[in-house]
Amino acid sequence: MRAIWKGSITFGLINIPISLFSATRSEELKFRLLRASDLSPVNYKRVAESDGKEVPWDQIVKGYEYEKGKFIVLKDEDFKRVDIEATQTVDIIDFVALEEINPMFFHKPYYIEPVKSGAKAYALLRETLASENKVGIAKVVIKTKQYLASVKPTGDVLLLELMHFTDELVQPENLQLPKNIEIRKAEKDMAKQLIHQMTDKWEPEKYRDDYREAVMKLIEEKAAHPDEAPKAAPKPKRESKVIDLAEVLKRSLAETQKKSRGKRESTVKLKKAA
């Protein structure tokens, strides 16, 4: 893996030299735009709105639209005038209890690797945060954007998880949410039972991107048989609306009980075979 950022974690007078590595990767399918007649790839052009002419890279600058149609141009030297120290440090401001943070604030994780000279301080921070169930709340500048971030332990590694600032979160005041709806005790009891029956251990590897896999299968079929049109898979019928919530809960319970019995029988057969 290649480091995407190098700097240090600071809190109090402690300084830990580190490198950041991406902890996630995108599995999105990438498609090219093609001309239908000969499948020639279609390229994008940088075109000016005012006259429709293509603009070469060396004539492009960065601008901020402070009013409709009015821009302030920022050059590389302008960005360099921003506090350079902030771009090289993960400056921990506070330590807070992890359970106090709304999960909506968390955005994107990065692995933190210490430089050899900072290994002991890294281990000390990791073990202390884990034992206290705390995270460090920090600010860090990556490229040209400042982020709120958390430093938290997971196993042997510290994670830097980028976070949203409060004003970046959209509040739900304008949503039409259900209020003052009467829910019968029998419905609550069946809902609890259904959730209990569907509760399982967290095993992230069992959750797959079904849509991506289906598209990839279609692509493989078309590549193998380019002159044949793949048959569309039949879609399961869905009920248009729920009339009786209690009846649907009963049917759901029966269905999950059937699946649970199937799982148990499969487990027993595997144990006997072993």
Confidence bin at 81 (pLDDT 50/70/90) = confident
Cβ 3 vs Cβ 21: under 8 Å? yes
How many helices, marked H, and strands, marked E, lie in the chain?
Answer: 5, 9
What pLDDT does residue 166 have?
A: 93
Sign of CA dihedral 71, 77, 81, 85: positive
Domain locations in the chain?
A: 5-25+81-168, 181-200+244-257
The residue that leads in pLDDT, 83 or 222, is 222
What pLDDT does residue 227 have?
A: 77
CA 189 – CA 253 distance, rounded (Å) = 11
CA 176 to chain centre: 26
Chain segment 171-225, per-residue pLDDT in tens: 888 888 888 888 889 889 999 998 888 888 888 888 888 888 888 888 888 888 8
Cβ 109 vs Cβ 124: under 8 Å? no
Judge whether residue 270 has pLDDT over 80: no
Query: Taking the CA of residue 97 as centre, how many other CA atoms within 13 Å lie in the half-sphere pointing to its CB?
Result: 2
CA dihedral 245, 251, 252, 257 (to 10 degrees): 150
Confidence bin at 77 (pLDDT 50/70/90) = confident
What distances in angstroms separate CA 55 from CA 6, 41, 46, 69, 212, one per listed residue?
34, 20, 6, 19, 36
The yes/no answer on whether domain 5-25+81-168 falls in CATH 2.60.40.1250 is no
| Residues in contact with 65: Cβ distance below 8 Å, sequence separation at least 6, in sequence order | 71
Confidence bin at 252 (pLDDT 50/70/90) = confident
What pLDDT does residue 2 have?
A: 87
Q: What percent of the chain has pLDDT over 70?
A: 87
Chain segment 84-133, per-residue pLDDT in tens: 555 688 999 999 999 999 999 999 999 999 998 999 999 999 999 999 99
Angle between the N-to-C axes of helices 185-198 and 245-273, in degrees from 0 to 180, rounded to the nearest 10: 20
CB atoms within 10 A of CB 106: 16
Cβ 154 vs Cβ 112: under 8 Å? no
CA 1 – CA 24 distance, rounded (Å) = 12
Judge whether residue 245 has pLDDT over 80: no
| Phi-psi sector, 200: left (phi>0), alpha (psi -120 to 50), beta | beta
